[in-house]
Amino acid sequence: MSVSLKTLTARYPGAQTFKFGDNAELSAELLALVRSGRKTATCDALSNYPEGSLEMPKPGRCDIALNWDDTPALVIETQDVSIQRYCDVTEDFALAEGETETLEEWQDHHRRYFQRNGGFDPEMKLVCERFRLVKDLALEG
């Protein structure tokens, strides 16, 4: 029996829920990268966070990553948040996302991701988040 979302939101006040990726296969791959310790960063278009949005990551807050079927998968704690233009993302940050081996690969993968999800501009602003894994809910039962 897995931990319920209601139990988790009581345990982590203010926690927001989110999904990695934009499809079931990518979501599962990204969750596995977090579980392995390889993925310690993520980003999204700033335009997805309206001013005052509760979903905006905040350092020190724990959030709940969901499986594609909306069941809780992981609890992460945000360590750092910065706003950067896509064209200014560093290799250090790109590699911390754990999905690619080079900055150029990261740029290609993320350009395609943003094109699928509302549009791409090399100067678009991104919310760049570094986090740590707090709890792997697949290990609870």
Percent of the chain with pLDDT over 90: 90
In a domain, 57, yes or no: yes
Q: Read off the pLDDT of residues 25-37 as tens digits, 9 standing for 90 and up.
A: 999 999 999 999 9
In a domain, 36, yes or no: yes
Is residue 42 in some structural domain? yes
Assigned domain for 33 exists:
yes
In a domain, 138, yes or no: no
- Domain membership of residue 140 (yes or no) is no
Within a domain: 141: no
User: Residues 6 or more apart from 134 whose CB is under 8 A from it?
Assistant: 62, 74, 75, 76, 77
Could you list the residue range(s) of the whole structural domain that residue 106 is in?
Answer: 5-133
Does 43 fall in a domain? yes
Mean pLDDT of the chain: 95
How many structural domains is the chain composed of? 1
Instruction: Please tell me the pTM assigned to this model.
Output: 0.94
User: Cα–Cα distance between 96 and 87 in angstroms, integer?
Assistant: 17
How high is the pLDDT of residue 138? 87
pLDDT of 110 higher than 70: yes
Q: How far apart are CA 71 and CA 5, in angstroms?
A: 7
CATH code where residue 23 lies: 3.10.400.10
